[in-house]
Chains A and B, each alone.
Chain A
Amino acid sequence: MSGNKVCIILSDCQSCSGLSNEDMNRMLGALKGGAKAAHALIVKAPCIKESRKEIRTLHIEGCDRAVVGMWCHPEKIGALNWLPKKMSPSLIEVVDLSIFAAKSTKCSSQVDKYVRVLHASAAGLAHAEALKDRKIPFASKSVVVIGSNDRAKDAAKSLASKGIHAKLISMEPMPGVNAENLEVIDGATTEGLKGIPGDFRIAYSRKGQRKETDAASILLVSERCLSKAVPPKDSKVKVVPLEQFRNYSAGGAKVKGMAFLDDLQTLTTAADPVTPAWHTLLEAAKTAAANHMADYISVIARDVKAAGLLEMLWKEAADAGVKFIRYDDKSRPKISKEDSTISVKDLVLGESLDIPADVIVAPITTRPWEPMFIERLFLPSDWDLKSRLRGPQRGTAQSPCDGIFMVGYAGFNKLLDIAEPELDSAVAQISAFMQKGCHVARGAVAVIEEGKCSACLTCVRTCPYRAAIMNESWKAEIIADKCAGCGNCVAVCPSLAIELKNCTRPQIGAQVAASTEVVQ
C-alpha cells in the first residue's frame, strides 16, 4: 500500500441494499477509521446519471486506486464506464456486495461484513499491484495440430501462413507437405500431454523412439483409421471405393446391379455405419443412374442422411431411378455366396429383398479414434477433459479448456460440410489465442491461520470459486490454485482467521492451470 491513496467508494443504492441512512453513516465512519483506506465516501446511487458525473469530477481526484462497492451487479450498470478515465481498469476493484445483502431486516448487523469485504478488496488490489509480473508469457511459441487427414494438413498450413509456428503430428506418412513455419512429424503416435496452456508438452513415439515437443496451443483434428475396401471372402462382388468411383465410371463398364453402401463395414460388423460424405455418395449414385451404368442401382443405408439441402440431391437421384433401401440395425445386409446379390431386410416393409450387386461402391470411412485419443493423452486427472467434452461448454470448435481446440471428428462423426467451417473457426480462435501471448493471474491468495479456525464452514459456503474446503484435521483450507483472491472469505470469517497474501510464482502457475477449469 505504502503511501498510495486508495479510495473506497460505496454506492448508497438504498433500494437495493436495504440499508438506512444511519447504517450508511456507520459504514462511512468505519471505513474512514480503517487504517487501510485513505478515503471512503458514499455516493448517491450511481445508476443515476447526475451522480456518475459527480464521481467523475470530484471524488476520486488525488487517489491512485479505487475500490467500488455496489449492491447491484457491477457489470449491469457499467461501473467501469463512469469511473475516471485516467485510472486504468486494473487499478479499480469493483466489489459486488449483493451476495452479502440481507434481503429483510438484519441490515445493520451486515455493516461490519461490508466493511471487511471492502477492506479485504482494497488489500487484494494493493497486493496485485505490488506484484509486477502478473502477466505470464507463453513459454512456447508453436501450435501443435494432431491429425492425419487432409483437414489437419489444411489447418496446419493455414496456421503457418498466418506466421504461427505449426507442428503437424500425424499417424500416416505425409509426403510433400512443405511450407514455411511448418514442421511435419509424420508416422508418430501421440502418447501423453502435460503442462498448462501456453506451455504444453506433448510426448509422442516415432520409429520406436519416444520424444517430446512443446506447444502453446493444441488443435485436435482427427486420426484416420481406414476401413479396408476389400469384399468379404468367397464372394464374386467387386468393391469400388467411393473416392475412386470417378475413375471407375470413366471405364464405362456396364453391369447388372450396382449397390451403394453407406459403410462397407456394415457387412461385417455391427458397428454404427459412418458416412462422412453423403454428398459424394448421392452424386455418384445419380451419375451412375443418369449414365445407365447398371440395370439396377440401389443405395443401401441405415438412414439416408441427406440432411439439409442434400435432400434435393436425394430427390434427383431417386428421380433418376436409384432405389433407396433402409436396413434394420438388427439384421444387417449380407452378400450371398452363390451369386452377386445382397440380401437385405427392408426396415419398413419387413420383406427380405435380394438386390443384384455385381459392384459395390462404398466410401472409405473414418472411424473415431481407437483407442480413444483423449484417453491415450493421459491428461492430468483434474482436467477431466473427457467429461467436459460432454458438458455444455463443448461446442464444435470450442475450446474444452484454454488452449485446446477440437474440430471435426475429434468430437464425433459428422458430415464433411459441417467439419470445414469448424476448422476455419478453430484456426481463427487459435490465432486470437496466440496473439494474446500471455496469461494474466490475480496477485492475491487467501490464507487461513489454522489456529484461529473454528471450523464453522462459513468460508466453505461463501467461496464463489469453491476454493475453501475442510481438510483432514477438520480445519478450513484454501486451495491456492482455485483462489481468485476476491476477499469474500476474509470478510465473512467470524474468527478473523483468513488473510489475503501475495502469491508465489508457482502459485500463479497453479492458478493459471486452475483457470482452465470451468467454475461450476
Chain B
Amino acid sequence: MMRDVLVIGGGPAGIAAAETLLSLGKNVTVVDSAPFAGGVPLELSCKGDIECTRCHVCMPRDAAARIRPSECLEVVPMASIQSVAIEGDVIKVNAKISPRYVKPDACIGCGKCAAACPVVGALVAPPHGSIPNAPYVNRELCAHFTSKKCNECAKVCPTQAFNFKERSKESRTEARAVIVATGLEPIDPSAVQHYGYGLYPDVVTSLDAERIISKYGELRKPSDGQKPKKLAIIQCVGSRTTKGGVEYCSKFCCKYGLRIARALVERSPDSQVDFLYMDLRTFEPRADALSWIGDKKNFMISQGVAAKVQMSAAGKLAIKRTTQGDASIEEGEYDMAVLSIGGQPRPETKVLAAHLSLPQDGFGFISADDAKRRIFVAGSCKGPMDIEESFSDGQAVGARAAACLGVRQ
C-alpha cells in the first residue's frame, strides 16, 4: 500500500512525528526495530514522587496511547531495514520482520499467558503505552523452542493468538516521504575501565538503576538486594571523554541524573546521595533545577567527577575525587555507584544514512536532511537530545514533511 510518510524509528521523535502527521491528515507507517514501539523511555522509570519533576518519560507513552493503529496508521515492530530504493517520487523500503509468535490483531491483552508462562522473561508483556499492546515471545528463553514443547501460553489464550510456526517475513512499504528517527543507544561504560563497571556488581549504569527502580519501586544493590546507605551518582560517564566513550556532551544526563537523585533523596531520607558533575547543563534555571534540595542534609552536589572507583578493604566502593573549592583529593566509601551514561548513534543509523545517501558527521550523527528528495531526519539521530526536545523536534519535522507533501488530491 502506498503511504504518505514512512517513519523509521518509533521512539519519542518517531511517535511525535506520526501523531503530528495523523493530525494533519496524512497516513503513516512506523517501522521500529524493538518489539514495542515507544523507544528508550519505555525502559525508564517515572521520577516524580511527591510532585511531577518533568522527566518527560511519560510523554511519548501518552502520545503512543493517543494514537492507535488504524487505517491511517500502521506500526511495524521488530523490523530491520534491508534496502531502500528511490524511484522518482516514490521511496520503496524493504524490511525484514522477525517473528513475534503472537498475533497482535487477535490478542486482547488479558494477560493470562503471562501468568501461565513457566520461564521468567520468555514472554514479555507490553509496557504501558506501547504499540502494539500485545506480548512477544523471546525465542532464546521460551521453553517451546529451548527444550520440550511447552505450550502453556497457547493453551490458556482465549483468542488463539499464539502462532509458534511464524517465520520471519519481508515487508515492502512504498511512501512519498521518509522520516528517519532512529535515535540513540546507550553507551556501554565497560570501556571506561577506571570506574569498574562489570567488575564490581554495585557499580551500575543509570539505565540499570532505572530498571531496578521500575522493578522494585526503590533502588537496591545488585550484590545483596539491600538498599544502599551511601550512593554516588557520577555524571559524564562515556561522554565528554576521549577514553572509552564519545567526545561530545550527551546533553540529557544532567537532566535525568538530577531527577534520579531527587527521587532517591526524597524517597529515602536516611540514605546519603552524592552527585558528582562536570558542568550542570540543565536548561531550566539552575536555581529551579536545585530548588528541591532546600535544607536536605542527605544530598551533596559537587563539581568535579570521580577519578577512580576501587574496592576498599571493607568491601565497599572507594571513590577518589577532588573536592569542590579547595582542590584537595578525597577518597570516600560508598555502597553503590550510579554511572550516568550518555548516548551514541545506533549502528543502524549509519547503514540507513548510507542507503539514503545522507551526510554524516564524524560521530555518526546525520548532519542534514534532504527536503528535496522528501527525506527528513528527526530527533536524536542528528545530535544528542533529551526526551522532551526530540519529541518536539519530531513534531516539527512531522509538520515540515506534511507541508512538503502538500494537500492530497
Contact = CB atoms under 8 A, between A and B. Distances in A.
Interface in A394-449: 394-397, 412-415, 418, 421-425, 427-429, 431-432
A153 B54 CA distance: 29
A347 B249 contact: no
A77 interface: yes
B393 A421 contact: yes
Contacts, number: 160
A397 B395 contact: yes
A428 B402 contact: yes
Interface string A472-513: 000000000000000000000000000000000000000000
Given A47-B106, A347-B324, A309 B384 contact: yes
A303 B301 CA distance: 14
Contact of A308 (B48, B251, B322): B251
B93 interface: no
Contacts of A429: 20, 23, 395, 399
Contact of B392 (A302, A349, A425): A425
Interface string A139-157: 0000000000000000000
Interface string A1-21: 000000000000101100000
A347 B106 contact: no
B145 interface: no
A307 B23 CA distance: 32
Interface SS of A by simple majority? loop
Interface string B1-43: 0000000000000001000100110000000000000000000
A390 B327 CA distance: 38
A45 B251 CA distance: 50
Contacts of A350: 325-327
A311 B326 CA distance: 26
Interface stretch (B201-209, B212-220, B282-290): B282-290
A395 B59 contact: yes
Interface residues of B, number: 63
Nearest to A423: B396
A394 B304 CA distance: 33
A106 interface: no
Interface stretch (A68-76, A203-211, A242-250): A68-76
B384 A305 contact: no
Contact of A390 (B54, B158, B159, B303): B54
A310 interface: yes
Contacts of B403: 428
Contacts of A395: 56, 59, 388, 391-392
Nearest to A314: B249
Contacts of B110: 15-16, 72
Contact of A76 (B133, B388, B393): B133
B395 A425 contact: yes
A18 B40 CA distance: 38
Nearest to B322: A348
A451 interface: no
B185 interface: no
B270 to A, nearest CB: 28
Given A272-B286, A394-B54, A425 B158 contact: no
Contacts of B160: 48
B118 interface: no
A395 B285 CA distance: 17
A306 B249 contact: yes
A196 B142 CA distance: 55
Given A303-B280, A348-B324, A326 B389 contact: no
A456 B20 CA distance: 45
- Most A C-beta atoms less than 10 A away, residue of B58, B240, B250, B388: B388
Nearest to B286: A272
Contacts of B51: 390
A48 B325 contact: no
A384 interface: no
A391 interface: yes
Contacts of A254: none
Contacts of A390: 51-52, 54
A107 interface: no
Nearest to B108: A47
B108 A77 contact: yes
A311 B248 contact: yes
B370 interface: no
Contacts of A353: none
B196 interface: no
A455 interface: no
Interface in B272-328: 279-281, 283-288, 303-304, 322, 324-327
Interface in B144-180: 158-160
Given A307-B249, A309-B365, A348 B303 contact: yes
Nearest to A16: B110
Contact of A396 (B133, B159, B249, B388): B388
A86 B283 CA distance: 52
A329 interface: yes
A394 B55 CA distance: 11
A88 to B, nearest CB: 15
A412 B287 CA distance: 12
Contacts of A329: 286
A16 to B, nearest CB: 7
Interface string A35-59: 0000000000101110000000000
B287 A348 contact: no
A76 B399 contact: no
A274 interface: yes
A48 B327 CA distance: 70
Nearest to B133: A76
A348 B283 contact: no
In this complex, which of A77, A274, A392 has the most chain B Cβ atoms within 10 angstroms of its Cβ? A392
A48 B159 contact: yes
Contacts of A77: 108
A349 B327 contact: yes
A429 B394 CA distance: 12
B285 A274 contact: yes
A294 to B, nearest CB: 24
A2 B403 CA distance: 47
Nearest to A46: B108
Contact of A307 (B108, B281, B285): B281
Nearest to A302: B286
Contacts of B249: 306-311
B129 interface: no
A453 to B, nearest CB: 36
A136 interface: no
Nearest to B246: A311
A150 B74 CA distance: 39
A273 B395 CA distance: 30
A347 B280 CA distance: 13
A315 interface: yes
Contacts of B183: none
B306 to A, nearest CB: 14
B24 A428 contact: yes
A312 interface: yes
Contacts of A412: 283-285, 288
A48 B160 CA distance: 8
Interface in A245-296: 272-274
Task: Identify the 7 closest CB pairs spanning chains A and B, nearest first.
Answer: A428-B399, A425-B395, A424-B396, A421-B396, A272-B285, A311-B249, A425-B396
16 contacts: A13-B158, A45-B158, A272-B285, A309-B248, A309-B365, A311-B240, A326-B279, A347-B324, A392-B48, A394-B54, A395-B59, A396-B392, A413-B284, A425-B16, A425-B392, A425-B396
Given A425-B392, A427-B399, 10 more contacts: A47-B106, A49-B106, A326-B279, A348-B304, A392-B58, A395-B59, A412-B285, A418-B389, A421-B392, A428-B396
